[in-house]
Structure 1
């Protein structure tokens, strides 16, 4: 019998085709390392112990608002091989800036530059900064999974459940689908 690959983040969430991901909102994101390699540290007795790369990943995550205007960081956790966090985009004005042509087809903007201040631009910059630090500091094996999971948090009270999930993630590491010990179950 072939082992079943358990992974709740294997497929990138379906982007909403007409959603402007630079629009105001709360976004729950998860980014994993390639092959779920535990570059960021370890969980011991339900507490995360960060490696040097994990400390950089945490520092750079906390610095996101310094690089993106009207962007805030809510609850987050750096796990051994992934990052969970809530990013808040809160501009004083919330104007849709996508033009009509970009709404015609998901493929029309496939290779265009990332929209400044968008969720994709924030995640791309974060992942690039961590990767650059790793290369500069001899951690040449470090790599991210190319995609990330995102969920738009609705105004239905789910933000508290998501915060609780993030906070409790280290305590549940033993049973976590991203724990390498559980990947082939």
Structure 2
């Protein structure tokens, strides 16, 4: 997936000699991206890269106890005893948590698309 801010004028990092150097916003995004994988036990982190004006990521969604993988709306409760969240709910949590932290460091108008 690709996740972008609504305003691409606030970069996440700079690239110097082929190396990505995260700024405050980029470090927050990196921290909150790792945070979601501690919160939701039915997903696994795969590769991701933060670049100056957006980032790319792959999330692996693990099957439920019946072998189903749910990427859309949350599955019916009777299909799995554990609470499972849809991909859109997980990304929404990431955007909310990272936005709150970005606002706290002074970028009050920061928003995700």
Residue 141 (1) aligns with residue 104 (2): no
Partner Cα distance (1:76, 1:91) in 2? 21
User: Hey, what does 1:105 align to over in structure 2?
Assistant: none
Aligned partner of 2:21 among 30, 49, 68 = 49
Measure the CA separation in 2 of the matches of 1:138 and 1:116. Answer: 34
Higher alpha-carbon Rg: 1
Count of matched residue positions in the alignment of Structure 1 and Structure 2:
102
Give the match for residue 92 of structure 2.
124
Q: CA RMSD in A?
A: 2.2
1:77 and 2:45 are equivalent in the alignment: no
SS at match of 1:36: coil
SS at 1:34 equivalent = coil
Q: What residue is the counterpart of 2:31 in the other structure? A: 59
Counterpart of 1:63 in 2: which secondary structure? helix
Tell me if the contact between 2:43 and 2:62 (Cα under 8 Å) persists in the aligned partners: yes
Q: Which runs of 5+ in 1 are unaligned?
A: 1-28, 99-114, 146-185
Alpha-carbon distance in structure 2 between the residues aligned to 1:122 and 1:138: 25
SS in 1 for 2:57: strand
Q: Residue 64 of structure 1 contacts residue 73 of structure 1 at CA under 8 Å; is this kept in 2? A: no
The answer for unaligned runs of 5 or more in structure 2 is: 77-82
Q: TM-score, normalised by structure 2?
A: 0.78
